[in-house]
Amino acid sequence: MTTTTARPRPQARPAAPLPSTLANGLARGAAEVKMFFRSKEAVIFTFSFPAFVLLLLGSIFDTGEAMPGGASMSQVFAASMIAYGILNTAFTSVGVGIAADREDGTLKRLRGTPITASAYFIGKIILVAVATVAEVALLLAVGVVAFGLELPTAPSTWLTFGWILLLSVIACTLVGIAASGLAKSGKNAATVLNLPVIALQFTSGVFVAISSLPDVMVKVAAFFPVRWMGQGFRSVLLPDSMAVGEVAGSWELPVVALVLGAWCVVGLLLCLLTFRWTERKAG
């Protein structure tokens, strides 16, 4: 016996509610994290790079003699390198990642679906959070094992570490998203974005102790977040006696909060002004 069933025409179905931005953002985040850790080049050459630099330069600076304040040069270096690690995962990786998403069609494909731009950003933020926590853990491990860095024990110090980390990540991610538009293509994004990163490392006292930098350089670098990120992490990971090595002779945590907070706002504004779904040449 044959029964005929009316073919369900697509338009006959009742309109189901659109999925929420949060649910889609979490799904994007899961996909982003998977893609990041599955890409061997990204993990080896991008993610492990700061730890590699820390090992290399830390060993070169490891002269054995203590600096004024008691800690060794390589310990100061290990603390400052956290700033580079965050810059690497939050600013460079996000900037390069978005430029690549724009170039390989990821963004265009997403834009053709009902997903919201916010869900895409939630995905990036999840990726940054996971990658940054892993990066910082890796750098701390190298600092402790190779250079005798002592991790703080007081909860209040970890609290300080927490807010400096959070503000740094938000500021760097937002500026990274905005900066992704500077690169004309995904291919040259890494080059374009590494330029300010390298320049800021040197002028902000990450690769070189801030006390040995020329005055003008320090003044200019004070407008950018990296200097304050490095100073913040040194305040948490080094004994308080080391504050003598800072420009003001103290850790200046309120200024750290102020500058990083300001960069969060600036980053958000830059993002809203410059974010593009597609490459500049596409109509």
Partner 1 sequence: MNAIEVRGLRKTYGGHTAVAGVDLTVAEGEVFALLGPNGAGKTTTTEILEGHRRRDGGEVRVLGVDPATADRRWRADIGIVLQTATDAADLTVREMVGQFAGYYPDPRGVDEVIDLCGLTEKAGARISSLSGGQRRRVDVALGIVGRPKLLFLDEPTTGFDPEVRRQFWDLVRSLAAEGTTILLTTHYLDEAEALAGRLAVIAAGRIVAEGTPRTVGGRDRAPATVSWVDAGGQHHLNTTDPVRAVTELAARGRVSELQVRQPSLEDVYLNLIGAKA
Ligand X SMILES: Nc1ncnc2c1ncn2[C@@H]1O[C@H](COP(=O)(O)OP(=O)(O)O)[C@@H](O)[C@H]1O
| Residues binding partner 1 (CB under 8 A) | 7-11, 13, 15-19, 23-24, 27-28, 31, 34-35, 38-39, 101, 104-106, 108-109, 111-116, 278, 282-283
- Structure tokens of 100? 């690549």
Query: 34 contacts which partner out of partner 1, ligand X, none, CB within 5 to 8 A by kind?
Result: partner 1
> 83 and 233 in contact (C-beta within 8 Å)?
yes
Q: Does the footprint of ligand X cover residue 14 (CB under 6 A)?
A: no
Residue 38 contact partner, candidates partner 1, ligand X, none, CB within 5 to 8 A by sort of partner: partner 1
- Least separation in angstroms between CB 272 and partner 1: 20
Nearer to ligand X, 187 or 280 (CB): 280
Closer Cβ to ligand X, 16 or 282, answer by number: 282
Of 67, 48, 68, 245, the residue nearest 147 (C-alpha): 67
Least distance to partner 1, CB of residue 168, Å: 27
Q: Rule CB under 6 A: is residue 16 a binding residue for ligand X?
A: no
- Does position 38 interact with ligand X (CB under 6 A)? The reply is no
Q: Least distance to ligand X from the beta carbon of 283, Å?
A: 5
- What does the H/E/C string look like for 26-52? HHHHHHHHHHHHHCHHHHHHHHCHHHH
Binding positions for ligand X, 154-173, rule CB under 6 A: none
Distance between CA atoms of residues 75 and 59, nearest Å: 10
| Cβ 19 to partner 1 shortest distance, Å | 6
DSSP 87-105: IIIIIIHHHHHHHHHHHHT
In the complex with partner 1, the residue whose CB is nearer, 81 or 107, is 107
Q: Which is nearer to partner 1, 24 or 203 (CB)?
A: 24
187 binds, among partner 1, ligand X, none (CB under 5 to 8 A by kind): none
Alpha-carbon distance values, 268 to 21, 179, 265 (Å): 19, 12, 5
The C-alpha atoms of residue 203 and residue 218 are separated, in whole angstroms, by 6
| CB of 193 vs partner 1, minimal distance in Å | 20
Between 253 and 282, how does the x/- string for binding to ligand X read (CB under 6 A)? ----------------------------xx
40 vs 281, beta carbon nearer ligand X = 281
Take residue 15 and report the two structure tokens written for it: 């309109």
**CB of 80 within 8 A of CB of 205?**
yes
β-strand partners of 66: 72
Both tokens of 48, joined, read: 């492990």
Contact 274, 181 (CB under 8 A): yes
Residue 283 binds ligand X, judged by CB under 6 A: yes
Backbone angles phi, psi at 171, to 5 degrees: -60, -50
Report the residue number, 35 or 60, with the smaller CB distance to partner 1.
Answer: 35
Token representation of residue 13: 């179905």
Binding site for ligand X (CB under 6 A): 281-283
